[in-house]
Amino acid sequence: MKAADLEGAYEFVSDTITLSKPKAVTERRVPPDWIGMWIFKDGRFSQTLMKQGRSWNPFPTNQDELGYQASAGTYKIDGPHLYLKHEFSLNPRGVSQLTVVEYELASGTLTLTAKMSPRLEDLSEGEQVIVLRKVK
């Protein structure tokens, strides 16, 4: 697949995180509690995810409590992998991050699968699967 095949706007369908470490747990985000949009165009991407019932706490202690995630940057495709270089991010630790996901685009549904490995900021290990539907 070429980068041009991926181009378009996609609405958020689900985000499932399945952890094996430090403890086995599954977290799932779906509408109507969470809504979002991804856009791919000319080698650039933008993604936004928002919790509908956000807290009015002016000093959230983490991204989940904030209930809003956003980033943008460049992307490239290499075989079954999609490389997302986050050049802008609401999360300061997300700037300059490279996310590598396996992708599948079939019948207008884009599935992004990322392996989660332990790192300094987060010792979690597992898998994240994001499902998006192309907007016609």
**Domain definitions of the chain by residue range:** 3-134
Please check the confidence at residue 2 and state whether its pLDDT lies above 80.
no
Determine whether 24 is exposed, middle or buried from the number of CB atoms within 10 Å of its CB (0-12, 13-18, 19+): exposed
pTM: 0.89
CA–CA dist 78, 49 (Å, integer): 26
* Distance separating alpha carbons of residues 26 and 11, to the nearest angstrom: 22
pLDDT tens, residue by residue, 97-117: 899 999 999 999 999 999 988
Task: Name 50's bridge partners.
Answer: 35, 68
For tokens 């747990």, name the residue: 25
CA distance 9 to 45: 10
pLDDT of residue 134: 97
**Neighbouring-strand partners of residue 21:** 125
pLDDT in tens, 17-71: 999 988 899 999 999 999 999 999 999 999 999 998 877 777 777 767 788 899 9
pLDDT band at 124 (very low <50, low <70, confident <90, very high): confident
3-134 — its CATH code? 2.40.128.280
Burial class (CB in 10 A: 0-12, 13-18, 19+), 87: middle
So what's the pLDDT on residue 15? Answer: 97
Q: What is the mean pLDDT of residues 68-76?
A: 95
Q: Please, what is the Cα angle at 34 between 18 and 63, to 5 degrees?
A: 70
What pLDDT was estimated at residue 62?
72
pLDDT in the model for residue 91: 81
Mean pLDDT of 2-10: 88
